[in-house]
Amino acid sequence: MRLSWNNRPQRVRQLERSLAPHLIYLFARLMISSYRLHKVEGLSNLEPMLREEKALLPCFWHHQIVYCTWFLVGAMKRGLKLGFLVSPSRDGNIGARLFDFLGVRCIRGSSSVSGAKSLRDIYLAITSDGLSIASAPDGPQGPPRVFKQGWVNLSRLTGAAMLPLAYAADRAWILKTWDQLVIPKPFARIVLVVGEPVVADKSLNEGEMQTLQDRMEDELNRLSRNAREMLGSAVCPGEHQSP
């Protein structure tokens, strides 16, 4: 008797869900260990915040999540108390398990920061626990390279600075996903750029919030272009295709 993919026994599905994070984690560690970090530009924008143990809101475009995440995980060794905003979807369950392996605290929610519980959990993680909550402000489902207002709101409410990040790789796979996810190939050369921290003032009105939102969107695109230019030859889709 042949079973279709969707009619697999529940025990098999549970085993797959249990093993998937482990396999992805091992594959990612193997891949990332081969990458050659050619340059980190703007590290001076991050170091003072680490010394002062200030909570941050690191942000990057969703298609650049792979290496930006790994860079932030590495910064934990220098004192960054890192947390991640992870989608409450089923796909987010795998991401949450992966972050567990890395010792990173996860908060389930989206970059639109909708829902009172989600907003409260993030607010307390930043203000009470001193966590730096990272996320892609165009996630979890796009539109790609559009900076949603949730991250600006969080900065205004908590006083935490948004820290823009971008990277480029000289060789990569580009997945056919909504964001054109970039996965650098083995032994890829990488340039990562850290932008200046930006705090949304509590007194901002709606129009000023939108202006800051547009500014952060432009800044992430500018950092992405700078990373490509510094690398000379890079695979980093999307900025020129954004709506």
- Is 5 domain-assigned? no
Instruction: List, in sequence order, every residue forming a beta bridge with 9; answer none if it has no partner.
Output: none
Strand 132-134 vs strand 172-174: parallel, antiparallel, or unpaired?
Answer: unpaired
Question: What CA–CA distance (Å, rounded) separates 50 from 82?
Answer: 11
More confident residue, 154 or 11: 154
Collapsing DSSP to helix, strand or coil, 135 comes out as strand
173 pLDDT above the threshold of 70: yes
- For the segment 11-21, the average pLDDT, to the nearest whole number, is 59
Per-residue model confidence (pLDDT) at position 36:
95
pLDDT band per the 50, 70, 90 thresholds, residue 42: very high
- Give percent above pLDDT 90 in the chain: 61
Per the structure, the complete domain to which residue 190 belongs is given by: 38-238
- Is 121 domain-assigned? yes
Contacts of 71 (CB under 8 A, 6+ apart): 40, 165, 167, 192
Q: Picking from 10-24, 29-43, 186-200, which range would have the lowest pLDDT averaged per residue?
A: 10-24
- Is 19 domain-assigned? no
Report the predicted TM-score, pTM, of the whole model to 2 decimal places. 0.84
Instruction: List, in sequence order, every residue forming a beta bridge with 161; answer none if it has no partner.
Output: 56
Q: Tell me if 192 sits within 8 A of 71, measured CB to CB.
A: yes
Report phi then psi at 190, rounded to 5. -135, 140
Question: What CA–CA distance (Å, rounded) separates 55 from 48?
Answer: 12
13 pLDDT above the threshold of 70: no
CA atoms within 13 A on the CB side of 63: 28
- Is 10 domain-assigned? no
Report the residue count for the chain. 243
- Is 100 domain-assigned? yes
- Is 208 domain-assigned? yes
127 pLDDT above the threshold of 60: yes
Q: Tell me if 132 sits within 8 A of 61, measured CB to CB.
A: no
Structurally, how many domains does the chain consist of?
Answer: 1
- For the segment 134-138, the average pLDDT, to the nearest whole number, is 92
pLDDT band per the 50, 70, 90 thresholds, residue 243: very low
Question: What CA–CA distance (Å, rounded) separates 51 from 154?
Answer: 22
Helices (H), the chain: 10-32, 47-51, 65-75, 90-102, 116-127, 149-158, 206-231
Question: What CA–CA distance (Å, rounded) separates 73 from 100?
Answer: 12
